[in-house]
């Protein structure tokens, strides 16, 4: 009987020790298992307060231990988007930030033929780890120029479709096809 009690005591002591070590070495684990966090989960249903920011940047336990490159490329993410593309842009930016840009902090440039809404600016600026700029391009710059021979352009598009070129059949790859583009 005494042996069973010893084993139970040993297992409990081992679990408490493991919990203590994980709380010290991993901040996210320590926050998740803290008493204040556990008591907040038991608040009454009507007392929930929405966060101030629409999306907060996560704290990462960085598993990628690669050293930073000796020289960072001189680059920028240039994205053609409309205000209505916000949900898709937010999803794409989260993936990009989670997997790549949190290490390098490259800037973003958003271009549109209409001014961006404050909501669009707030969400994209909050997610980005680098700087964010918004540009306005005149609507006439999105259309095919008048000096282009439409017959030659049609033949070239048909050939690109035959050659399986992505978007080869599109008359123009601007904002008119209702999807954001990263250049």
Report residue 10's pLDDT band, with 50, 70 and 90 as the boundaries: confident
- Give dist(CA 80, CA 95) in Å, integer: 18
Name the average pLDDT for the chain.
79
- pLDDT in the model for residue 26: 76
Contact, 138 vs 113, CB < 8 A?
yes
**Contacts by 140-146, CB closer than 8 A, 24 or more apart:** 141/113, 142/113, 142/172, 142/174, 142/175, 142/176, 143/172, 143/174, 144/171, 144/172
The pTM is what?
Answer: 0.52
Q: What is the mean pLDDT of residues 100-128?
A: 92
Burial of 85 from C-beta contacts in 10 A (0-12 / 13-18 / 19+): buried
95 CB-near residues (< 8 Å, 6+ apart): none
- Report whether pLDDT(38) > 70: no
Indicate the burial class of 109 (C-beta count within 10 angstroms; 0-12, 13-18, 19 or more). middle
Q: Which two tokens stand for residue 180?
A: 């954001």
Give tens-digit pLDDT for 77-87.
Answer: 999 999 999 99
Of all residues in the chain, the percent with pLDDT exceeding 70 is 73
Q: Is the pLDDT of residue 43 over 80?
A: no
Name the more confident of 169 and 97: 97
More confident residue, 27 or 160: 160
Residue 7 has pLDDT above 80, yes or no: yes
**In terms of pLDDT, which residue wins out, 127 or 48?**
127
CA dist 98 and 13 (Å) reads 37
Q: How sure is the predictor about 58, in pLDDT bands with cuts at 50, 70 and 90?
A: low
**pLDDT (mean) for 165-183:** 61
């Amino acid at each position: 009987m005494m042996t069973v009690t010893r084993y139970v005591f040993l297992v409990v002591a081992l679990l408490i020790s493991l919990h203590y070590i994980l709380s010290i070495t991993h901040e996210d684990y320590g926050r998740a298992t803290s008493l204040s966090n556990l008591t907040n989960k038991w608040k009454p249903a009507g007392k929930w307060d929405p966060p101030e920011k629409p999306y907060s940047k996560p704290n990462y336990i960085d598993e990628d231990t690669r050293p930073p490159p000796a020289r960072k490329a001189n680059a920028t993410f240039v994205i053609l988007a409309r205000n209505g593309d916000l949900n898709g842009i937010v999803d794409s930016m989260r993936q990009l930030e989670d997997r790549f840009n949190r290490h390098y902090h490259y800037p973003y440039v958003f271009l549109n033929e209409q001014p961006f809404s404050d909501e669009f600016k707030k969400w994209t600026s909050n997610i980005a780890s680098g700087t964010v700029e918004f540009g306005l391009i005149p609507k006439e710059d999105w259309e095919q120029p008048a000096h282009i021979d439409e017959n030659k352009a049609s033949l070239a598009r048909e050939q690109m479709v035959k050659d399986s070129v992505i978007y080869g059949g599109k008359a123009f790859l601007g904002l008119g096809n209702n999807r954001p583009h990263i250049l």
